[in-house]
Structure 1
Amino acid sequence: MASADSLSNSSSLADWFDGLSHNIFFQPDDALASKTFEERVADDAVIRINHDQLGKAKYWEIIKAARAASHMAAQSSKEIHTWNAPDGLGGGCVAQLGYFTTTKKEGGTEAVGSSLTLTNVHVRDGKRVLVELTEVMNG
């Protein structure tokens, strides 16, 4: 479960990305998801999911549709590798392997999925923001 400190610049990159994912995908408050996405995903972010490349607006539309159709729950996350930017401000890259479940709101069908992510994080205006995400996802 993400804590209030997980989106701070002093948390590890893996914890920061877990907190970002929690707020955007897994907690039930749509307003918090939208606020987190708007503040923590750069306007010029490049998102790659499997073989598709998306901009920020298209990615948010996909997320909104997924949140509307399903309840999502994180099951586990494992940090594979991290690089911290040498300036010490909190940017860097982190690769993680995560497992999650989705339960359709209509019908209750449950599915288990996995996601391998490579995340590039910069610090802009004093805050960490996602600038690039490559995700290989099943489920």
Structure 2
Amino acid sequence: MAASQNDEKSDLFNWVTEVWKKVLFQPDDEIAVNTFQKYFAKDIVIKINHDHVPREAYYGYITSTRAAYDLTLIYGKEVKVWESPNGGGSLVYDGALNYTDKKTGEEQTGHVIMVLDIRKDDNGEMRIVQTTEVVTRSEGSVKAFEG
């Protein structure tokens, strides 16, 4: 079991960070789509603020956000982690990002605390099987997910 008390990041945190970088922060839409399809379980349970969000609605929100904004990771922190001896585990992730509107150049910041559950599937691939997110945005045109 990995500890979260020092500056060293767990393997699980590094894996989640890499998945999110590919889904949100790099410019190639094909990489983003393929990463989402590969690492977000088909039966994933998603909650954003107090709403249950179906996987396809979450996917649509991600793709529409990518289309409208350039996204930059400001920071990502590992708050707490439990790593399963069989791979996967649970992670509390604290992150902030910058949204820049591709048309107007307007900038905003977003903040998220996520509690993620990750499991290895029958093929040994890690998958995000559940995420609960508390999301806020600075003032402006970017809105939190509205299902």
Asked whether the two chains share a fold, i.e. TM above 0.5, the reply is: yes
Q: Which runs of 5+ in 2 are unaligned?
A: 1-9, 138-147
Query: Partner of 2:136 in structure 1?
Result: 138
| Cα contact 1:47–1:133 (8 A) shared by 2 | yes
CA distance in 1, matches of 2:119, 2:44: 11
Is the counterpart of residue 104 in structure 1 residue 101 in structure 2? yes
Amino acid at match of 1:120: D
Q: Cα offset for 1:89?
A: 2.6
Query: Partner of 2:53 in structure 1?
Result: 54
Q: Compute the RMSD of aligned alpha carbons.
A: 1.0
Alignment of 1:78-93 (within 5 A): 78-85=77-84, 88-93=85-90
TM-score (ref. length: structure 1)? 0.88
Q: Cα offset for 1:53?
A: 1.0
Amino acid at match of 2:79: I
Query: Partner of 1:12 in structure 2?
Result: 11
Query: Partner of 1:25 in structure 2?
Result: 24
CA distance in 2, matches of 1:104, 1:113: 13
Q: Which runs of 5+ in 1 are unaligned?
A: 1-10
TM-score (ref. length: structure 2)? 0.84
CA distance in 1, matches of 2:12, 2:46: 18
| Cα contact 1:115–1:136 (8 A) shared by 2 | yes
> For residues 80-115 of structure 1, what are the alpha-carbon distances to aligned partners after superposition, in whole Å with 9 as ceiling and x for unaligned?
100111xx2321000011111000011000001111
91-100 or 48-57, which deviates more = 48-57
Is the counterpart of residue 126 in structure 1 residue 138 in structure 2? no
CA distance in 2, matches of 1:119, 1:41: 11
Q: Cα offset for 1:24?
A: 0.5
> For residues 33-69 of structure 1, what are the alpha-carbon distances to aligned partners after superposition, in whole Å with 9 as ceiling and x for unaligned?
0000000000000111111211211110110110011
Q: List structure 1 runs of 4+ shifted beyond 2 angstroms.
A: none
**SS, match of residue 45 in structure 2:** strand
Instruction: Percent identity, please.
Output: 32
The structure with more radius of gyration: 2
CA distance in 2, matches of 1:40, 1:108: 31
Amino acid at match of 1:129: R
CA distance in 2, matches of 1:65, 1:58: 10
